[in-house]
């Protein structure tokens, strides 16, 4: 496992030898950083390999076309710092994604709560219960939320608002 200085030219000319499932080009500047090539894919990826809790761990950093060498080195150093502090980078990533998803779900729930009015909730409630009630009971619930101020069907006055309106 020889280590060399990673350059754009060396990475672009690096190929996986035929008959091998994968090949690695290891960086001599940052411990654990390498480039992985596979025979079936033309894409090469930066990887980081280290030991976490006495077990070998390999994490893909990203495609060499998307990450520059200094960015990949910085990411490998960040991952090594996490390992030195006693954290598994895979678990940290999973926790961050779970936190992000929980925050997104909470934000959607908050937006939904803020957009629902009593009138819309009331209509949904009585429509869901309509089949369980008699016609008269259903009409009573409609009357409770009646906004009022409409012309009477008989006479010249206005209707009065319902108790919940």
- Chunk the chain into consecutive blocks of 10 residues (it has 165) and report each block's average pLDDT, rounded to whole numbers: 85 89 92 92 92 91 94 95 92 94 95 85 89 90 75 70 64
Q: Dihedrals φ, ψ of 57, to 5°?
A: -135, 135
What is the pLDDT, as a whole number, of residue 152?
A: 59
What is the pLDDT, as a whole number, of residue 151?
A: 64
Return the structure tokens found at 101. 């998803």
Axis-axis angle for helices 118-129, 135-144 (nearest 10) = 180
What is the pLDDT, as a whole number, of residue 163?
A: 65
* Domains assigned to the chain: 3-87 (3.30.160.390), 116-165 (no CATH)
Q: Dihedrals φ, ψ of 86, to 5°?
A: 95, 10
Give CA–CA dist 85/98, Å, rounded.
21
């Amino acid at each position: 496992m020889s280590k060399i200085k990673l350059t754009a030219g060396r990475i672009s000319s690096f190929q996986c030898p035929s008959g091998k499932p994968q090949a690695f080009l290891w960086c001599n500047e940052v411990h654990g950083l390498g480039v992985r090539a596979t025979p079936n894919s033309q894409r090469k990826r930066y990887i980081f390999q280290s030991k976490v809790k006495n077990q070998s761990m390999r994490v893909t950093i990203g495609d060499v076309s998307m990450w520059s060498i200094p960015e990949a080195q910085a990411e490998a150093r960040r991952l090594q710092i996490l390992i030195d502090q006693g954290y598994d980078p895979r678990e940290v990533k999973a926790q961050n994604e779970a936190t992000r998803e929980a925050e997104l779900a909470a934000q959607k729930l908050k937006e939904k709560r803020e957009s629902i009015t009593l009138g819309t909730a009331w209509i949904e409630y009585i429509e869901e219960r309509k089949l369980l009630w008699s016609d008269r009971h259903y009409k009573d619930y409609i009357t409770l939320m009646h906004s009022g101020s409409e012309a009477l069907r008989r006479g010249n006055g206005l209707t009065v608002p319902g108790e919940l309106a």
